[in-house]
Amino acid sequence: MVNAIPQKAKIDQGWLHKRCLKILLLSWEYPPNVVGGLSRHVYGLATRLARQGHEIHVLTAGDREWPNYEWKEAVHVHRVRPVNEHDDQFLAWIGGLNVAMALKGELLASEIPFDIIHAHDWLVGSAAMALKEVLSIPLLTTIHATEHGRNQGIHTEMQNFIHEREVQLISASDHLIVCSEYMKESLMTLFQVEEKKLTVIPNGIHLSMIKTSAAKVFPELTRREYIFSIGRIVREKGFETIIKAAEIAKAMNHDYFFVIAGEGPMLEIYRKQIMERNLAQYVAFIGYVTEEEKFSLIQNCEMMVIPSLYEPFGIVALEALAQEKPVIVSNIGGMKGIITHLQTGMIMNPDDPFSLLEQIEFLRKHRQLAKNIALKGHEVVRSLYDWGQIASDTSRVMKLMTIGDTGELNRCNIN
């Protein structure tokens, strides 16, 4: 590691490339704690940054089942439990987690001279802001989604509470990373963030997918073709569109079978709707699946559908394209930056079951074209969304922040 920092006006690019950082990375979830896509994102970024020579300390929520500390894949993982870990009120629980994270972060910093803090979303915002003040080092924040976007506005007291925490974290951060141009525009509009404070770096995936036959994991799915979808079972993911499409398909006597994986607060409500509408032969909500099961379901599906009403990026689309599967996505958010209609995938109108069925029927009638579209999508994924490149782009932002070269930082957007 090079100790002397060159003058800003004469930064040696070779020195910048070789410089290694000590990074304190805050995320409320990290494997094996996987609630949503955030956990996988942080894991992919942390392990690749470590592989590139940086010293990575992940500070995250703990559980009695997991060790308080482990060194895994060259990443130091520190797990803490909220000071009020038995509180069943989520916002209070998060508050207690932030207190514990701030205390642990300060303790770690007494032994490790961290260069930068990297926070992920408002859930760790209080701890991140406190540590920035105590340690007097830069704070970089990745905003993965916004409460306003998830709910198409702020409608409740709880939503307003979260929105205000987002405002505080965004304001306190020295720089922000977002995953898409859509998210960049959202932050500039919703939070009046100056463009120079934002860098766009996409999410990524691990291209070495698990290859397990779905016949072994879900033998009942070998009897017919199925259309796959996955996500947290909440309204914003648009699964009601699939239910409506299945009802139309049933009336038209089309042989469609939708398999939807994931868990969340709407799961039992949707399952009840399936039973009430006699759609069990058309739609199955199968609940939680492991990573291995997810990849095997993608590998063996006919096509992938992501009917979201709000989606800052759409990492599941990348996972499907990586396995050369045709993908149908809603014409919203970050997914528009991944999929080009009839080239790398198909685009449907959000909340429109007829539009969804139209895309499905097109792919079924033009199977060779569908295969070609999937192959082209696969090529795009391999070239643009590898974690190695994403980690390099992120570390460059961090290095420029630590030497205070905001002029150069303003020119390093990754599009």
pLDDT tens-digit map of 293-318: 888 899 889 999 999 988 877 788 88
Q: Could you tell me which CATH number the domain at 8-204+386-409 has? A: 3.40.50.2000
Q: Do domains 8-204+386-409 and 214-384 have the same CATH topology?
A: yes
Question: pLDDT, tens digit, for every residue of 43-84?
Answer: 999 999 999 999 999 999 998 899 999 999 999 999 999 999
Instruction: State residue 211's pLDDT score.
Output: 54
Question: In this structure, are strands 69-72 and 75-80 parallel, antiparallel, or unpaired?
Answer: antiparallel
Say what the pLDDT of residue 253 is: 92
Mean pLDDT computed over 129-153: 94
94-135: per-residue pLDDT in tens? Answer: 999 999 999 999 999 999 999 999 999 999 999 999 999 999
**Bond from prior residue into 32 cis (ω within 30 degrees of 0):** yes
Query: Could you tell me which CATH number the domain at 214-384 has?
Result: 3.40.50.2000
Task: Say if CB 76 and CB 69 are below 8 A apart.
Answer: yes
- HSE-up of 277 (CA within 13 Å, CB side)? 21
Confidence (pLDDT) at 152? 81
Predicted confidence (pLDDT) at residue 189 exceeds the cutoff of 70: yes
For residue 171, with 0-12 CB atoms within 10 Å meaning exposed, 13-18 middle and 19 or more buried, which class applies? exposed
What is the structure's pLDDT at 322?
A: 87
pLDDT tens, position by position, 205-218: 776 554 555 555 56
Task: Answer yes or no: is pLDDT of 413 > 60.
Answer: no
First and final C-alpha spacing in the chain: 29
Angle between helices 315-322 and 37-51 (to 10 degrees): 70
- Rounded to the nearest angstrom, the gap between the alpha carbon of residue 111 and the centroid of all alpha carbons in its chain is 31
Rounded to the nearest angstrom, the gap between the alpha carbon of residue 209 and the centroid of all alpha carbons in its chain is 17
- Whole-number Cα distances in Å, 131 to 49, 72, 78, 278, 371: 21, 24, 15, 54, 50
Percentage, residues of the chain above pLDDT 70: 89
Which range (7-16, 88-97, 214-223, 403-412) has the least confidence? 7-16
- On whether the CB atoms of residues 11 and 405 are closer than 8 A, the answer is yes
Q: Residue 204: pLDDT band by 50, 70, 90 thresholds? A: confident
277: CB partners within 8 A, 6+ apart: 243, 247
Helix or strand holding residue 229 (H, E): strand 227-230
> Taking the domains of the chain in order of start, what are their residue ranges?
8-204+386-409, 214-384
**How far is Cα 230 from Cα 242, in angstroms, rounded to an integer?**
12
Q: Which two tokens stand for residue 176?
A: 């922000």
For residue 151, what pLDDT band results from cuts at 50, 70 and 90? confident
Which residue, 199, 134, 221, is CA-closest to 414?
199
Do residues 108 and 22 lie in contact, with contact meaning Cβ atoms separated by under 8 Å? no
Q: Count CB-CB contacts under 10 A for residue 369.
A: 13
Looking at residue 3, its pLDDT comes to: 38
Give yes or no for residue 335 having a pLDDT over 80.
no
